[in-house]
Copies of this chain bind each other. A is one copy, B any other.
Amino acid sequence: MIKNPDTPVYTISTAAKLLGISIPTLRMYEKEGLIVPFKKESKQRLYSLTDIDRIKCIRESINRDKISIAGIKRILSLIPCWDLIKCTAEDRTNCMAFREHTKPCWDYNHTTGICGTKQCRDCEVYLQFAECSKIKSHFISITLNRNS
């Protein structure tokens, strides 16, 4: 029996039911680069429990906090991925996710560096920031744990 919350198990229809939203909405979030569901070879999407929680968080930002999707994308683009996965200086200068601030790193097509070697869905950057509030607390720990 699978208990790992990161294992993709829910089809798009069950995910939509669990969240109380429509299927096209889930596809839109994906097209906007907010989520990266698992995809079978047949292109069928599967969502994990963490995915469901991530989408709940996105919906709270949109509905309760009135943050637009473009706003969420910019916020996610601020995650210091280069620091988490320890990019080389060369990796960084070649990386659009490092230079821009329009969308999350996992919405770029990475070919070089560490990002070229793994699926963004399985990357610690994606996994670590499923919850929205983690972003600020990450910056707090970065600044406070720094030895200046």
Using a CB–CB cutoff of 8 Å, the interface residues on chain A facing chain B are: 65-68, 70-72, 74-75, 77-78, 80, 82-83, 98, 101-102, 133, 135-136, 139-140, 142-143, 146-147
Contacts and interface: CB of A to CB of B under 8 A. Distances in A.
Question: Copies of this chain, how many?
Answer: 2
A74 B65 CA distance: 9
Nearest to A147: B147
Given A142-B143, A143-B142, A136 B77 contact: yes
B78 A78 contact: yes
Contacts of A98: 140
Given A142-B143, A146-B146, A135 B70 contact: no
A83 B98 CA distance: 22
A143 B74 contact: no
Contact of A70 (B71, B80, B101, B143): B71
Nearest to A89: B144
A142 B66 CA distance: 29
